[in-house]
Amino acid sequence: MSEQDRLEFWTKTLNLPDFQVVHQRRDTPADPLRLTVVPQMPLGLCSGCCRATDAIHRTYESQPVKDLPVGSQAVELIVRTYQFHCPHCDRYFTPRYPALAEGAHATERFLEQAAKLIRFSDIANAAAFLGVAEKNLERWYYDYVQRQAQKPSAEFKPIKSLGIDELSLKKSTGSS
């Protein structure tokens, strides 16, 4: 299996929207699998003028970001993000990615799974199970819950049918 095939395999296995794996590393079997990911599209939408640009000013590498394990193997991501320069309004900006939790070194899906574990148990046990410091998981969890509460509720759908109150129907037909 070539290096490119291996990276494509990890990109498909990771299934992280908008990102592709460009490097993998694991020094010892006990170490977490570290995957370096980059955005699939090196484009950004300027927050000032709302125009797309591909003018990359800088590239940043994150600290390790916790993601869901693959089987019993812990996974950490090194995320390369781009800071763009908008030539139209002369602003610098770094786009946000919905798969990455803001203010936490974890993915949104990792925090979702952690929240499920915490609902069944508690933060201390979930932290021990996930291999995360308890105080970090506590802060991430409460931030995650707050973000979820601020999200708009499910989309409203058009009414397709109305139920009829049987007692009201009997009263109006004179059958009672």
pLDDT digit string, tens, across residues 140-174: 999 999 988 887 766 767 767 666 666 666 666 65
Q: Which residues pair with 93 in a beta bridge?
A: 84
pLDDT digits (tens, 9 = 90+) for 58-96: 988 889 999 998 888 889 999 998 889 888 888 898 888
What pTM was estimated for this model as a whole?
0.76
The tens digit of pLDDT for each residue in 121-133 reads 899 999 998 889 9
> Where do the domains of the chain lie?
1-97, 101-152
Residues contacting 101, CB < 8 A, separation 6+: 107, 108, 110, 111, 140, 143, 144
What's the rounded Cα separation, in Å, for the pair 145 and 132? 18
Distance between CA atoms of residues 150 and 114, nearest Å = 19
- pLDDT for 14: 87
